[in-house]
């Protein structure tokens, strides 16, 4: 995608301001943890793995709400949407578990403590706010079918979380210097923000095409 195309996608990605504020605020929690509460790369990895599960659960809700007609596909009916959503939960769940295995190997186990769970709660609030304020409040659900919505979180998983795992491996290899851990968290925050805008742009383009 050239520079003009990228700018057009991002410019189209209007979002509820509260959802953007919560997205940035939630992503600042692990940064604060790293800078002031001695969070290490293991805590960051476990937190982002939990977030990946949150994304999957909320995407299942999005699929159930998706209202764009999909002629010739059973997902157009309520029963069809429920069946496709069940398949998504199974399929995405397998990817999430495999991702968890890699995280467990890098983080020496999956043991979320209270601070990590607080961070996970902040991320849950951020994603839930986007669901309510953008997907429902801005009626994005009208522009996507259940089948189309099913594919959305996979791009996020591949583009963001696999990169995080690889980046974390590099950080661990270097002895977890603070600056590299901070850069990993900041990079993830920026990527989340950009992906959020691109996702909004996709819904808007789909709505305009209807």
Report d(CA 204, CA 22) in Å as an integer.
Answer: 21
Q: Residue 2: inside a domain, yes or no?
A: no
Report d(CA 79, CA 102) in Å as an integer.
Answer: 35
Question: From first to last of its 210 residues, what are the pLDDT tens digits of the chain?
Answer: 555 554 444 444 578 889 999 999 999 999 999 899 888 888 888 899 899 999 999 999 999 999 887 766 656 678 888 999 999 999 999 989 988 888 888 777 666 777 889 999 999 999 999 999 999 999 999 999 998 899 888 877 776 777 777 777 777 777 878 888 888 889 889 888 888 888 888 888 888 876
What pLDDT is attached to residue 157?
78
Q: Residue 198: inside a domain, yes or no?
A: yes
What pLDDT is attached to residue 74?
58
Q: Which residues contact 144 (CB under 8 A, 6 or more apart)?
A: 62, 66, 68, 203, 206
What pLDDT is attached to residue 110?
64
Q: Residue 1: inside a domain, yes or no?
A: no
What pLDDT is attached to residue 91?
94
Residue numbers of the domain that contains 76: 16-209
User: In the 8-state DSSP scheme, what is residue 143?
Assistant: G
Q: Residue 6: inside a domain, yes or no?
A: no
Q: Give start and end residues of each alpha helix (H) in 66-177.
A: 78-107, 114-130, 146-156, 162-173
| Residue 8: Cβ within 10 Å count | 14
Q: Residue 9: inside a domain, yes or no?
A: no
Q: Residue 23: inside a domain, yes or no?
A: yes
Altogether, the residues listed in the chain come to a count of: 210
Of 81, 46, 50, 69, nearest in space to 168 by CA: 46
What pLDDT is attached to residue 2?
52
Q: Residue 3: inside a domain, yes or no?
A: no
Q: Residue 172: inside a domain, yes or no?
A: yes
Domains identified in the chain, total number = 1
What pLDDT is attached to residue 9?
45
Q: Which residues contact 118 (CB under 8 A, 6 or more apart)?
A: 29
């Amino acid at each position: 995608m050239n520079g003009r195309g990228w700018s057009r996608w991002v410019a189209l990605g209007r979002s509820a301001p509260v959802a953007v504020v919560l997205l940035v605020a939630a992503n600042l929690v692990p940064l604060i943890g790293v800078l002031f509460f001695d969070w290490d790369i293991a805590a960051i990895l476990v937190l982002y793995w939990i977030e990946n599960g949150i994304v999957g659960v909320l995407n299942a809700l999005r699929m159930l709400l998706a209202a764009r007609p999909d002629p010739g596909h059973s997902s157009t009916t309520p029963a069809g949407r429920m069946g496709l959503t069940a398949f998504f939960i199974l399929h995405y769940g397998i990817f999430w578990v495999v991702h968890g295995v890699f995280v467990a190997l890098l983080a020496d186990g999956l043991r979320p403590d209270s601070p990590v769970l607080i961070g996970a709660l902040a991320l849950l609030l951020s994603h839930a706010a986007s669901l309510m304020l953008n997907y429902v409040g801005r009626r994005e659900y009208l522009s996507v079918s259940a089948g189309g919505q099913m594919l959305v979180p996979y791009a996020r998983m591949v583009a963001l979380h696999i990169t995080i795992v690889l980046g974390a491996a590099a950080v661990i290899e270097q002895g977890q210097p603070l600056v590299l851990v901070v850069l990993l968290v900041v990079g993830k925050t920026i990527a989340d923000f950009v992906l959020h805008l691109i996702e909004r742009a996709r819904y808007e383009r789909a709505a305009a095409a209807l």
